[in-house]
């Protein structure tokens, strides 16, 4: 047999080969999108049931810690997951692999139950880039509609104050939402000052028919009077923006050292705080130590000092940079004494750790624990004692994850192929102004691009 007589195998057709490769990419992408829909459903349920509320400030922070997503991507997943809860058509299209996650992500920024069906059709017909443009234009129309509404509300503002025949004064008016919110807050504060405080101090009892408690409307009228008096008293000066309310807490030294001890933690305005709360507040504050004798007479008032002096606080911020609770990167924090100063813990860098307000609360009031090992590493524990590692171990993945995904989708009755997510677009130019005019329910003419 001569060599020349052997059949030569035909070289594989390069285009057919690349087509197959392309089809494989498209099909696997559809599988990944369908799997993403399941992932988003799980995230939505986890979020709604507060599964992340185990020391994390949000579902996104938990995802960042547990799954390793950056915070921006994690927030976006949670946003899309929540939005899809109210947009069943878009959710279903993603679950069937017909709409990519990128398209669904863009469409959920503007879709409402009213516009969902229209936007789904847009998602099916257009490419991802076209949908991005339509969504940007859509938001512009939304903003224009909002601006029109705000302009109208601003124009309709008004307050009429006029005397009635008997000399009383009638008040009637309409305020923009933000001014209205300001007024309601101010009235609430004034009402609280007038009524809640007098109730606790004077001990007015509703049982006494001679002193019937004022109705809500009467309270509001009195609150408005207090607002007017206060405004005139302060020459209508809103004050410096940085001014803040100060909360003064009186705490017995014994309470700080041991929360089980009887003693008092009292807010200056009245009302009690728990011993653990007073320990948290005392972790990083200005303090004035007052000594009383057994009868409560004041013996001595010390100078006001910071529990954490400014230089040490700078060193702490420089070392820790952000909250050290696993998964949290909040930049603003409070200094926490790993061993509380009231129990003899030193105010040194070695005994301090930076925690955001949320996580400072977690370690004082929610049973989370933090300790520092001899090598300086922090050990965070959940209330049940289980460790809370900085980076959780990754979950095992099946040996052939793609095969597993295919098998799972086949079991769900999903028939995904290379054309599942193909847009209906045939290459014609996108006329954005026309598209928005036709699609957007609040459009009033072609938008200016």
Q: Residue numbers of the site for Zn ion (CB under 5 A)?
A: 283, 323, 325, 328, 330, 336, 356, 359
Q: CB of 127: closest distance to Zn ion in angstroms?
A: 41
Which CB sits closer to Zn ion, 39 or 317? 317
**Do β-strands 378-381 and 305-306 pair in parallel, antiparallel, or remain unpaired?**
unpaired
Q: CB of 355: closest distance to Zn ion in angstroms?
A: 6
Q: CB of 445: closest distance to Zn ion in angstroms?
A: 48
Which CB sits closer to Zn ion, 56 or 101? 56
Q: CB of 327: closest distance to Zn ion in angstroms?
A: 8
**Please, is 439 exposed, middle or buried when counting C-beta atoms within 10 Å of its C-beta (0-12, 13-18, 19+)?**
middle
Q: CB of 272: closest distance to Zn ion in angstroms?
A: 19
Q: Which H or E run contains 187?
A: helix 177-191
Q: CB of 66: closest distance to Zn ion in angstroms?
A: 16
Q: CB of 274: closest distance to Zn ion in angstroms?
A: 14
Q: CB of 268: closest distance to Zn ion in angstroms?
A: 21
| Among 126, 23, 123, residue whose Cα is nearest residue 427 | 126
Which CB sits closer to Zn ion, 226 or 330? 330
Phi/psi class of residue 186: alpha, beta or left (left: φ > 0; alpha: ψ in -120 to 50)?
alpha
CB atoms within 10 A of CB 77: 23
Q: In whole angstroms, give the CA distance from residue 21 to residue 230.
A: 76
Rg of the chain, C-alpha, whole Å: 32
- Proportion of the chain in helix, strand, coil states, percent, rounded to 5: 50, 10, 40
Which CB sits closer to Zn ion, 55 or 97? 55
Q: In whole angstroms, give the CA distance from residue 88 to residue 105.
A: 14
Backbone angles phi, psi at 110, to 5 degrees: -125, -20
Which CB sits closer to Zn ion, 223 or 275? 275
Strand partners, 335: 354
Check if the beta carbon of residue 317 is closer than 8 Å to that of residue 354. yes
C-alpha angle 16/22/23, rounded to 5°?
Answer: 90
Which CB sits closer to Zn ion, 34 or 283? 283
Check if the beta carbon of residue 275 is closer than 8 Å to that of residue 255. yes
Which CB sits closer to Zn ion, 37 or 283? 283
Which CB sits closer to Zn ion, 359 or 440? 359
């Amino acid at each position: 047999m001569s060599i020349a007589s052997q059949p030569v195998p035909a070289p594989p057709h390069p285009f057919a080969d690349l087509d197959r490769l392309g089809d494989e990419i498209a099909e696997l992408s559809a599988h990944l999108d369908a799997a993403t829909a399941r992932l988003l459903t799980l995230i939505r349920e986890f979020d709604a049931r507060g599964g992340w509320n185990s020391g994390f400030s949000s579902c996104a922070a938990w995802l960042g810690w547990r799954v390793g997503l950056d915070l921006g991507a994690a927030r976006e997943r949670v946003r899309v997951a929540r939005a899809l809860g109210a947009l069943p058509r878009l959710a279903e299209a993603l679950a069937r692999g017909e709409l990519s996650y990128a398209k669904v992500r863009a469409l959920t920024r503007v879709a409402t139950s009213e516009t969902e069906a229209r936007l789904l059709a847009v998602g099916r017909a257009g490419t991802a880039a076209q949908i991005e443009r339509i969504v940007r234009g859509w938001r512009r129309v939304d903003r224009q509609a909002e601006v029109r509404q705000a302009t109208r509300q601003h124009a309709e503002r008004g307050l009429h104050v006029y005397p009635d025949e008997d000399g009383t004064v009638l008040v009637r008016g309409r305020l923009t939402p933000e001014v209205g919110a300001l007024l309601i807050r101010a009235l609430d504060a004034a009402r609280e000052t007038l009524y809640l405080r007098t109730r606790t101090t004077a001990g007015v009892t509703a049982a006494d028919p001679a002193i019937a408690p004022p109705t809500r409307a009467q309270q509001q009228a009195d609150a408005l009077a207090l607002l007017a008096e206060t405004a005139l008293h302060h020459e209508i000066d809103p004050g410096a923006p940085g001014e803040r309310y100060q909360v003064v807490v009186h705490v017995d030294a014994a309470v700080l050292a041991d929360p089980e001890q009887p003693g008092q933690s009292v807010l200056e305005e009245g009302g009690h705080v728990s011993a653990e709360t007073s320990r948290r507040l005392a972790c990083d504050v200005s303090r004035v130590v007052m000594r009383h004798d057994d009868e409560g007479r004041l013996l001595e008032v010390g100078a006001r000092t910071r529990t954490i002096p400014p230089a040490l606080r700078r060193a702490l911020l420089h070392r820790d940079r952000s909250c050290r609770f696993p998964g949290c990167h909040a930049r603003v924090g409070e200094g926490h004494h790993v061993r509380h100063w009231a129990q003899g813990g030193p105010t040194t860098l070695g005994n301090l750790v930076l925690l955001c307000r949320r996580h400072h609360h977690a370690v004082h009031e929610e049973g989370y624990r933090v300790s520092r090992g001899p090598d300086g590493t922090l050990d965070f524990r959940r209330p049940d004692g289980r460790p809370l590692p900085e980076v959780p171990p990754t979950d095992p993945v099946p040996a052939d994850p793609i095969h597993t995904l295919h098998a799972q989708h086949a079991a769900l009755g999903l028939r995904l192929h290379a054309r599942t997510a193909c847009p209906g677009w045939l290459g014609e130019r996108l006329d954005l102004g026309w598209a928005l005019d036709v699609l957007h329910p609040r459009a009033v003419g072609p938008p200016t691009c």
